Structure 1
Amino acid sequence: MKILTFSTLFPSSVRPSHGIFVETRLRELLKSGQVESRVIAPVPWFPSTNPRWGDYARFAATPLREQRNGLDVRHPRYLLAPKVGMTLAPLTLALGARAVVRELIDEGFDFDLIDAHYYYPDGVAAALLAKWFGKPLTITARGTDLNLISQYALPRRMIEWAARRAAGSIGVCAALMDVLRGWGHDPARLNVLRNGVDLERFKPLPQDRMRAELGVGGEPLLLSVGHLIERKGHHVAIEALAEMVKTRPGARLLVIGEGQERAALTALAARLGVNDKLRLTGSLPNTELLKWYSAADVLLLCSSREGWANVLLESMACGTPVVATDIWGTPEVVAAPEAGRLVAERTGAAFAAGIEALLADGTDRAATRRYAEGFSWQSTTDGQLRLFNAIKGEGGRA
């Protein structure tokens, strides 16, 4: 079977960790030997590669075509205009990719279906392409596309149109498919295929050795990973640290990630008197994260919204339990005591209490790893193959 993978969430040579979960799912699917794929991963057009422009410069530096782990990846450009950009993005995405889709077909890759990731704007753009080229479509919802962006009237209407056009919708957690079900979409077309975890990349390393190598320590050593944006809740993790040090003065917090909240987080730590107990590492390569997971005692995920947070399983695969907000798909990941604890309130005090409860019960890093081993990619691959074959066999209707 030939599939066209379509998403702006896909790694490139200049942004190797961007959307790596989409690439990982595709690579695991290709291991089945039953699927051939080409990837279209559009990036916004920008005129300059000058580093002072940050991410925009990396967009400009992205090659138009490259090979990644044996995958042929195209990066056509699309216009992302200021202020009105998100409203027009589905159309500009589709128009920017249209010529590349035609080129693939002319080269002999006349694909059987489009497999799109992220409902808005990517899924809507893919629905336009599917209509223009007469192809069936699947769209995977991953989090904020349905639990945040859909709160806006115009994007929601476009998402609903794309969902009706799709032969199948996939959610990385049941909570996301409940959104479409609540809107009245056909349950027969709604599929839950969770993300897995790469158990070879993420595996336990000796905790003491990792702490020495990284130059970190703490009793306990807490870890928070993700973009430095309000939604990820690193400020809540810092507030939890401030609560913890009242009874555990050796507590320390590592925050891995980069983003617009960095200065605010530093100021918060100073105001709460824990700036000497906090370390902001900046962004780190995905391949290095297992060392930090292995060094930590507890991973904190203080998010206000999540679909299926990959950091949870990555941490558990390294033997480190988690304390996370009880929201959306997270209860589907943290579903046993050895996995960690869920926190009902998104406050520092509530997270500190959750951490204390976890530590008081005792942690078994080997048991946490065994729990993570139940989340391999195989069941997700099998589910995709069943869905794609059903769509192909029924002439584009799942």
Structure 2
Amino acid sequence: MKLLTFSTLYPSSVIPSHGIFVETRLRHLIASGQAQSRVIAPVPWFPLKGERYGEYGKFAATPAKESRNGLSVTHPRFVRLPKVGMSSAPYTLAWTALRAARQLQREGYDFDLIDAHYFYPDGVAAAIVARALNKPLVITARGTDINLIPQHAFPRKLILRAAAQADAMITVCEALKDELVGLGADASKVTALRNGVDLALFNPSGRDEARAALNLAPGRFTLASVGHLIERKGHELVIGALAELPDVDLLIAGAGPEEGALRRLAGSLGVGARVRFLGALPQARLREVYTGCDALVLASSREGWANVLLEAMACGTPVAASNVWGTPEVVASPEAGELMPERTAAGVAEAVRRLRAAPRDRAATRRYAEQFSWDATTQGQLDLFHRILAARRSPELRHA
């Protein structure tokens, strides 16, 4: 089958970690040998390149076309209007995507199905494109697109309109499926297919070497907090917990607008000497962090399916995580780690104390992660896509 993968959440040579979970799922699907895809991954238009312009400067530097992991990726520009961007984005995005999709068709790639990721604005825009081209559509919901954005009335209306049009929807956890159905989506069209983990890349080997490379003090219990430096990720709660954990150090891997505030918080709490900011890291370096640290902490307020949890577990490292959305589906066994009793600095500290009081066997944590390979998710996608295409060929099968 020929797919058109569509999302603004997709990596590029300039921002290689952006939406990597979309690329990873697609790579495993293509590796099955039963599907091929072209990727349209629009980026906001911005006139000036350079680090001084932050994320928008990186968007400006993104190539119009590139090849990543053997996949052809197009990065057309769309206009994100100031102040009205949330309302206008689906339409400017759809206009850009439709032009790019028609160009692919002119070049001889006439795809069978549109595989869109993130419901708003991406899924809504994809629905407009699918209607214009008379193509079946599958939309994957991933987190804040369902558990946050629908709090706004206009996006919620467009999300439900796209959900009604879509041939099928995928959520990355059962909690998001329940939320999407609760908003009004047809439950019979929603399938939960959780993310997997790359068990070859993320592995527990070389722990001593990893600790040495990170210059971790012998005998010091070290936590890692991984993710964008934004409020939703809760890095400030992990820093706050250090005040209750005087013999614990913290590595923070990620970049973002909250870095300055987080550094100031660490200083004001007197724990600055025990907090090290590593910046944004490629996945190979993240493996080093996961393998070298004693526990990963994820204090997010919202998560669909947090890949960092499985990545750490695959490296043999247990986790302490906030009890939100899909996270209890990931941390579902003592070998995996601990759920925080509350999402506060004190809750983080308590979960870490529990981990230290009952140390997890790292080999058992790795075995727990091994049940989350990509195989089941890949097969689930293939079954779903084949069913949709068969129904398109034989309309009487649509309600079978």
Task: Give the alignment's TM-score, normalised by structure 1.
Answer: 0.97
Q: How far does the alpha carbon of each residue in 1:346-381 deviate from its partner, in whole angstroms, 9 at most, with x for none?
A: 111111111111111122111101111100000000
The C-alpha deviation readout for 1:114-153, integer Å capped at 9, x for no partner, is 0000000100000000011111100000000000111111
Q: Which moved more, 1:99-108 or 1:210-219?
A: 210-219
Segment drifting more, 220-229 vs 49-58: 49-58
- Listed one character per residue, the Cα deviations across residues 78-121 of structure 1 (whole Å, up to 9, x for unaligned) are 00111111210000001012111111112221111100000001
- Which residue in the other structure is 1:119 paired with? 119
Residue 323 of structure 1 is matched in structure 2 by 320
Contact preservation (8 Å) 2:341, 2:351: no
Counterpart for residue 225 of structure 1: 226
Instruction: Give yes or no for the alignment of 1:154 onto 2:157.
Output: no
Cα RMSD (Å) of the superposition?
1.2
Following superposition of structure 1 onto structure 2, how do residues 38-187 of structure 1 map, counting pairs within 5 Å? 38-187=38-187
Give structure 1 stretches of 5+ with no counterpart: none
Give, in angstroms, the shift of residue 58 of structure 1.
1.2
When normalised by structure 2's length, the TM-score is 0.96
Q: Distance in 2 between matches of 1:23 and 1:101?
A: 19
Per the alignment, in what secondary structure is the counterpart of residue 54 of structure 1?
helix
Deviates more, 1:45-54 or 1:307-316: 45-54
- Matches of 1:31 and 1:103, distance apart in 2: 26
Whether the 8 Å contact between 1:205 and 1:291 is mirrored in structure 2 is no
Give the Å deviation of 1:67. Answer: 0.9
Q: How does 1:282-301 map to 2 (within 5 A)?
A: 282-301=279-298
Which residue matches 1:386? Answer: 383
- In the alignment, which of 337, 340, 356 is matched to residue 340 of structure 1? 337
| In 1: Cα distance, 2:149 partner to 2:182 partner | 16
Say which SS state the counterpart of residue 204 (structure 1) adopts: coil
Q: Read off the aligned partner of 2:106 and give its amino acid letter.
A: D
How far apart in 2 are the matches of 1:50 and 1:9?
21
Aligned with 2:353 (options 353, 356, 378): 356
Contact 2:140 2:171 in 1 (8 A): yes
Q: Residue 257 of structure 2 aligns to which amino acid in structure 1?
A: Q
Shift of residue 216, structure 1, vs aligned partner: 2.1
The runs of at least 4 aligned residues of structure 1 exceeding 4 Å deviation read none
Structure 2 CA distance, aligned partners of 1:202 and 1:117? 24
Aligned-pair CA distance for 1:207: 2.3
> Bigger CA drift: 208-217 or 73-82?
208-217
Matches within 5 A, 1:264-279: 264-279=261-276
Tell me how far apart the structure 1 counterparts of residues 187 and 263 of structure 2 sit (CA, whole Å).
46
1:6-45 map, 5 Å:
6-45=6-45
Q: Which moved more, 1:218-227 or 1:18-27?
A: 218-227
CA offsets, 1:241-267, max 9 Å, x none? 11111xxx3x10111111111111111
1:252-263 to structure 2, matched below 5 A, reads 252-263=249-260
Give the drift of 1:206: 2.8
Partner amino acid for 1:209? E
Contact 1:6 / 1:126 at 8 angstroms: preserved in 2?
A: yes
Supply the distance in 2 between the matched residues of 1:167 and 1:87 (Cα, whole angstroms).
24
- Does the aligned pair in 1 maintain the 2:317–2:362 contact within 8 Å? yes
Alpha-carbon shift at residue 272 of structure 1 (Å): 1.2
Aligned to 1:191: 191
**Could you tell me which of 376, 380, 383 is aligned with 2:373?**
376
Determine helix, strand or coil for the equivalent of 1:259.
coil
Give the partner amino acid of 1:80: R
CA positional deviation for 1:8: 0.5
What secondary structure is seen at the aligned counterpart in 2 of 1:22? helix
- AA at the equivalent of 1:344: P
Q: Give the fraction of aligned pairs with identical amino acids, expressed as a percent.
A: 59
CA distance in 1, matches of 2:50, 2:207: 40
Return the alpha-carbon distance in structure 1 between the equivalents of residues 335 and 317 of structure 2. 9
TM superposition shift of 1:308:
0.2
Supply the distance in 2 between the matched residues of 1:185 and 1:154 (Cα, whole angstroms): 16
Q: Is the 8 A contact 2:7 2:40 kept in 1?
A: yes
The one-letter code matched in structure 2 to 1:311 is V
Structure 2: how far apart are the matches of 1:50 and 1:362?
46
How far apart, in 1, do the equivalents of 2:28 and 2:174 lie? Answer: 21
Contact conserved, 2:177 with 2:192, CA < 8 A, in 1? Answer: yes
Aligned length, in residue pairs: 394
Q: Is the 8 A contact 1:77 1:97 kept in 2?
A: no
Asked whether the equivalents of residues 160 and 184 of structure 2 are also in contact (C-alpha less than 8 Å), the reply is no
In structure 2, list runs of 5 or more residues that go unmatched: none
8 Å CA contact retained: 2:341, 2:350: no
Distance in 2 (alpha carbons) for counterparts of 1:205 and 1:154: 49
